Amino acid sequence: MKAMMLTGIRKMEMKHVPEPLISDDHDVKIRMDVVGVCGSDIHYYQQGKIGSQVVQYPFTVGHEGAGTVVETGPTVTRVKPGDRIAIEPAMPCHECDQCLAGRHHTCRKLKFLGCPGQAEGCLSEYLVMPETSCFPISHRLTFDEAAISEPLAIGIYAVRQSIPMPNSSIAVLGSGPIGMSVMLAAKAAGCLKVYMTDKLDERLLCVKQAGADWTGNVDKVDVVSLIHHQKPLMLDAVFECCGKQEAFDQAIELLKPGGKLILVGIPEFDHWQVPADVARRKEITIQNIRRQVDCVEPALEYLSNGTIKVTAMATHRFAFKDTPSAFELVAGYRDGVMKAMIDFRI
């Protein structure tokens, strides 16, 4: 089968590799239909690593996938050949202390699709996953929506780890797909007002149309004083969704005393700088978010009952063979790209 593999920094090639086989009774073989390009894929593409996770070439990335079941192991009950599914990229061991505590996302032996040293990603024609990673989707859902359920699940999880949303006012700093997912999840959970920032006007327009109450371009306006003007008592929670120190600093300023800062973005540096004095005086709580756990089903439910709409997130579409162009586009933040979808059907 064909697999799109990273072969070096900013290098990618289509390779012929053996089709994966069902090796466990609980395995499911999937033909890929759509894969969303994620910011973390771009980190591996451009830097060859995220923190301590370093790519050994050649390597296939991709973890936001949707496809069709083509074969199942003998004990599989969740899905059958022909089923359209969303793929949960995490493959936890189900046995360690973290798994037993319900924290499958921090499993000690976690294998995650397209994560170096763990599992090859889903930018390939076929994939084998345990049935616990396969979520059948309703006929109302498109493969795009199924693939986007992965980042949406992270938004839902981040919101669940924050504060009660009804009547809250929050900021989401960074309006990429994850920031947008946080906003959509917050709104669906009853958040009153979402202030969003970014450096790209196209993204701000996109999230505004999708439901953000206020948007500001950090390169053009003083977002902290503008939000302060509208909301003198400041905000209940701020979600950092771009991995930038300046956003972290803005978050500390934007929070009211007792507020919560939720770190969702992936920084390219090793250490956050916390302003000790103001963070202490305001008694700010800082919550880190590691992907998500148990939020794929809620994401699919929100999408299939229409509470959350994500089609606007899929701004660009590429054939599988053109994946390198998709990565270049996303890496360069070109053409107002929010999310590029790799479509195996075209």
Out of 107, 159, 300, 310, point to the residue binding Zn ion (CB under 5 A).
107
Does 92 contact Zn ion by CB under 5 A?
yes
Rounded-to-integer distance, Cα 255 and Cα 259, Å: 5
Work out how close the CB of 159 gets to Zn ion at its nearest, in angstroms, rounded to a whole number: 17
Interior angle at CA 223, CA 332 and CA 46, nearest 5: 20
DSSP-assigned states of every residue in 116-178: TTTB--S-BSEEEEEGGGEEE--TTS-HHHHHHHHHHHHHHHHHHTS---BT-EEEEE--SHH
Minimum distance from CB of 324 to Zn ion (Å)? 19
> What Å distances lie between residue 112 and 89, 105, 156, 195, CA to CA?
5, 9, 19, 32
CB of 267 to Zn ion, least distance (A): 16
Asked if 327 and 8 touch (Cβ cutoff 8 Å), the reply is no
Q: Does 93 bind Zn ion (CB under 5 A)?
A: yes
- Rule CB under 5 A: say whether 42 interacts with Zn ion: no
> In terms of CB distance, is 76 or 90 closer to Zn ion?
90
Q: How far is the CB of 64 from Zn ion (least distance, A)?
A: 5
Q: How many residues bind Zn ion (CB under 5 A)?
A: 6
Q: Which amino acid is at 119?
A: A
Mask: binding to Zn ion, 133-172, rule CB under 5 A, as x and -? ----------------------------------------
Least CB distance from residue 53 to Zn ion, whole Å? 13
d(CA 248, CA 225): 15
- List Cβ neighbours of 305 (8 Å cut-off, separation of 6 or more): none
- Considering the complex, what minimum distance in angstroms separates the CB of residue 94 from Zn ion? 6
Instruction: Give the interface segment with Zn ion, choosing from 84-92, 271-279, 302-310, 330-338 (CB under 5 A).
Output: 84-92
Does 96 help bind Zn ion (rule: CB under 5 A)?
yes
- Of 87, 99, 153, 163, the one binding Zn ion (CB under 5 A) is 99
Residue 50 binds Zn ion, judged by CB under 5 A: no
Residue 314 in the binding site for Zn ion (CB under 5 A): no
Helices (H), the chain: 39-47, 97-100, 143-160, 177-188, 201-210, 223-230, 245-254, 276-281, 296-304, 323-331
Which of residues 89 and 216 has its CB atom nearest to Zn ion in the complex?
89
Report in angstroms the alpha-carbon separations of 42 from 159, 177, 237.
Answer: 24, 13, 28
Give the nearer residue to Zn ion in terms of CB position, either 30 or 148. Answer: 148
Q: Which residue has the tokens 């756990």?
A: 293
Per rule CB under 5 A, is residue 38 in the interface with Zn ion? yes
Residue ranges in contact with Zn ion by CB under 5 A:
38, 92-93, 96, 99, 107
